[in-house]
Structure 1
Amino acid sequence: MLKIYIAINILISFFNPDVNDDTINKIPPKKEIVKLTKEAIDLLHESNFEKSFAASRLALNYSIASKNDNLAAKSYNIIGANYEKMSEYDLAILNYNKGIVYAEKAKNDTIKNYIYNNLGNIYWFNKKDTEKGISFLKDALHFVETNKDSTKIVLIKLNITWAYFAVGSYSQGIDHLKFLNKYNNKFGGDSNAVIINMLNGMYAGSLGKKSESKAFFEKGIEIGKRTDNIEDLSYLYQQYSKYLYSKNDYKNAYQYLVLYSTLTKQLEDSENLKRAKSVGINFEVDEYKRKIDSITALNFLQLESLKKSKIIVLLFVIVLVILLLQMFTLYKNFLFKKKSNQDLMESNAELVEAKEMADESSRLKTQFVSTITHELRTPLYGIVGITNMLLDEHKELENSTHLNSLKFSARYLLSLINDVLQINKFEENKIVLEDSIFNIADEIDLIINSLLFIAKNNNNKVTTELDPEIPELLLGDKLRFSQILINLLSNALKFTRNGTVVISAKMVRIEGQTYFIEFQIKDNGIGIAQEDQIKIFDKFTQVGRKNLDYQGTGLGLSIVKKLLELFDSTIVIESELGVGTTFAFTIGFDYDKEKIENIINDAEFDSSKGNALSVLVVDDNAINRMVTKKIIEKLNYKCVVLESGKEAIELLTTDKFDVILMDINMPEMNGFETTKIIRSMGIMTPIIALTAFSKDEVVEESKLVGMNDIIVKPFESPELYKMINIIIANE
């Protein structure tokens, strides 16, 4: 009905030229018109579009009547901005272009610059014409840079960056983003913070920096919620949802898509927006009236002769046409909304299905890795054990190339299995640092000795430089620290021929009871090219294999990086081809003398009963039984081996043992079931789980059934000796 009313008013004004806007006959002074335009701008910033439209329309009427091109340009700019806020983009562009005409007449480059910026935003953001939008924005940027207006430079560069990033042109937008990161706090302020964090998140995501991208997006969300910046927050939710979807994080992508839809609907349902549309249309009536007035001056005498009956017929026809167009438009909108809702429902269903498939894929992957590693560790236990037996029983074979090669190959395969498990644990966030006492110097010596075979093969020398200020004993996760050094040192030795590798540890600072130590592993090997220095920390990435075969999976440095993140640390690399490479990192270890002494006292045990201990081994694998028995007898313990849980239960009804080593994965009755029955019989003999599974996979169930500890195959005899005696001492 509103459009019908507009049409009738237009026709009445057309046939009644004496009807003029009273405001034009009473033109206020320029000072009042300027005040009116300022009021319209303030109302626009407050999202009071209805009053802003009314004020800007009145200011435009006065400006045109007083032939003030400068104020007319300002008024058209404000009206265009109101239409833009209401999503009437074609009308906004129309009024912005009118504003440019009046700005050029008034030779007012400042207003023209504002309008260029607004047109640029509409074309790239709403009309999806990025090339045209950026062209307008660059025109605006050229003007503000010439006039050194820092605040407006920040605003326009923000819009240009957003436009480039929206179409994936990160290389063209990155320089503008760097400028924003550097100068926004000084010239832009908090109003741009949500969008700038969104842009940084998009750029980090394009580089594959997942954690950095997530941090920027979440910081932007926090600022948007705190400042109640609904419009910018909705854009950030939309971009974050797209990024998560691209990373196959369908669940969170869907959640942020819902948040984006909610905020968008909230903005669209604004009452001010609805009322403003009617006021905006009244402005169009004024425009029509101005055009019609010029026509009526030429045709007044002819139009006077038209009969009222013809006017009524013409009005009726026009109203009927408008009604039909209105009905057709409503029908088209209904079909469009129906299709949009259907598309959204289908997209949601696809997201849910994709999430379920991703969860199932993750579960199957974990199960597969667990099964494969168990099946590989079981024969490896036999290989390593039999190799050690041969070396112990036949001292003349100690320098046998074949036997040592066999042992090295088995340990290399075990290392590969451990690397795969480590990556799997990182992806499932299952790794937690543990505290233990250790001596850094001793630990480094052990690591060097374990890698001497690589050093000898490549004719390398390993030296150490340790700061005497480092305490003798420290608290920290010795195992994870050792993994870091082993990976870095083995890499240095593999990629160096006839050279020297230096391991250094230097105290850098002390904070309370935490001693921060910088470690460096420096070699004079082949070096790493500049373009490869970022790639080497990706999983399964290997560089420098042109003419030489360097063994490895490409997992070592990826594991190092993730382990250092657990220590709240990062790794730094300096390298030059043909000169060498230096890796450096800093870790904080605790030094608490009293706590260290308590742990040492708790760990002490009496091994005097060693020769009297009797051990029962239950394992279905014949080779493993033989290897385990040899290890136990080497410790001067008595040993009985059985191949099933059923046999163990029968034997324990008559015989007693000091310790039971129970294999977990056995047919008919597994180790958990056997242990549960043994405990139900009232037998409290210490039971150590003997397994090829990862310790994390079985620790919970082993505690539930009453097992005392877990040892993972393959293991060394000192490790078993220590575990048995600690358990016996605590009985």
Structure 2
Amino acid sequence: MTSSKIYKLICSTKFMVLCILLCTQAIFGQKDISSTAKVQAIFDEYMVYRHQNKTDKALETLDKAAEIAENNEDAKLLLDTYHQYARLFLEEGDRETAVFYWDRASILLKDLSYSFGQAFHNYLEATLRFDEGNNFQSLKLLEESRKLSNNRNLGNNILLIEANIFANITNYDDAIKNLHALIVNSDDKERAYLATKANLQLAKISLDLNDLEEGIIHSKAALELAEKHGYFKEIRAANQRLSVIYEKTGNYDEALNYRKNLEQIKDSIFNLEKAKLETNTADKIRFDHQMNEINKLTIKNEELSESKNRSEITAILTSAFLTIISLLAVSLFRNNQIKLKTNDLLYTKNKELELARDSAVSAMEAKTNFLSTVTHELRTPLYAVTGLTHLLLEENPAEHQKEHLKSLKFSGDYLLNFINDILQINKIDADKLEPLKIEFKLQKILADVVDSLQQNAAEKNTSLVLDYDPNIPLQLLGDPIKISQVFMNLVGNALKFTKDGKVEVIAKLLKKDEDQVKLYFEVKDNGIGISEDQQKNIFDSFEQGSVQINREYGGTGLGLTIVKSLLGLFNSKIHLESELGHGSSFFFEMDLKCNENDLQEVSFELNPEEFDFNGLHVLVVEDNKINQVITKKMLTKKEITCDIANNGNEAIDLAKANTYDAILMDIHMPGISGEEATRQIRKFDEEIPIIALTAISLDDSLDSFYEAGCNDVVTKPFKPEVFYQKIGENIFKRKMEGQV
């Protein structure tokens, strides 16, 4: 015989004996009326615990009610208790235990004339049928239940189940009618709880009908009621519903907010420990019910022992022995069930966490892409602002106009730096950055950084010097662009906070092993310094130490965050030593590969002063009319002539029909992109320098530009000196290399 059959046999025997005892004692005993009131009070307490999802407490109160009902031989109260057991376990998803108590209630109903009990029994059976997916059987049982009793609370619960069934079969009109009735219900026991459940179901229906605004209203109403009364399950459901609806509306910040609330609820200690506690409590109650039968048999055994009725004693002992053996078998079976249930719970929890993680990541990606798109789109009008300002400054404006134009240029440069920082942070957060592995000259990279910031240093009356170790190999393998960004941020930061002082850029060789070197870098100044408290957060985004510093020195507070993140790509870590009023020192170590074979490489480096732009003829590929005008005027200032192509197809045709010294290629254009146009041009001309001009976005990759055939990249909006430098380098350096 299987453990499940033993379990059912014992349960059936136990309840048969109990029913016989109750029926027999009902003839001779009198009911304790005060006990009925006490059980009713316990039921009210149980209702609160059930609503708040405190299943362990609810089970304990029902156990008290069952004990009182059995002691007073009140079959109706015992029936009501079994019904509540069944209802609670069904709501908790334990269908097997719910059916067990519903079956026990069925046995008691056979010998009772109790219309409310039969009505509630039908209601529970309807709920079971609905749980199976038998919608129309459930509706029929609910109608029978309504005819047997006019109890208001039962009627409201019937309305709720009917609404759920109507929604299931897409009869939304009847479902909404029932749910609106429940929102304004006057139930004296479950008014707030029923209104909460009704709002949640209305939110679900609104979501199904794509009425998102109505869905938000009902979800928030449900959340407000649930939080006010402590309905744990409903709080979780409302947060889940709101996160889904806000994500559909495109309001990703709100969606992420409710998703975070949901994660806090799911990961709370209460939620994790509650499942274990509920399982233990439920198991204990079942065990106690069975131990009650053993105790009764033991008492009976003692009474028979006193009367020396050996045959009856033997029968009782045998029964007790069999009962104990059966209980042991049932206990083993239940332990196995508990393990299975715990495993299911953990599996479900993991799945929920995975879904929540995916949702949170999707919301974060949407937010990141939105910021990236905004910063990208801002570059086009900003190109017009900075370009026109530069042109106006070079056309000898009046003195009173020059002051305004300089202010406009400063504001444009500040906005450009801010956009660049935001884009850089977005790329880092989205894991879009990977370090390049190309050959470069470290000394030239650092010298360029120092030279480009000498003007800033002069304005601060500060000395900016480079201390470079000559033992460092000439050619290194790495990412010169990101290393340059690190030092631009560190040196720029040092100059911002140093006046009438000195800023040093130090590069030292620590160790060299064959093709691997370990380098030490440091940027130190004798500026205002950083206090110990401010040092703790100085590398956080938008953090500048204090509001006063931000107002006095300006800036975005993103520079050091970018430095920390970029160095992380090289498995390096930034360190800080500083004392308030005595300057700061930022230092780090970096491992790079070197290439000694290229020590004798011929250098073709040219200074900007050596560029003779007169007579050059280039092709400008640009779809924006304002950008065309600005770029053409900037070229004309250097006596460079140009043709204009409005799109990629025109660029290909003009490149085939004419000879140009270089092509300035916009990347983002209607029709074919600049990358595709470059690929097509490279099929018939592999020599012409092609410089990509682009408002680079989060999804753009410098590698893809080079792979398409571009020789260099200039991001818009650009500084004029950088623009001319790139043109000169790519045209004249290539010519010199060709001569050699």
The alignment's TM-score, normalised by the length of structure 1, stands at: 0.50
The alignment's TM-score, normalised by the length of structure 2, stands at: 0.49
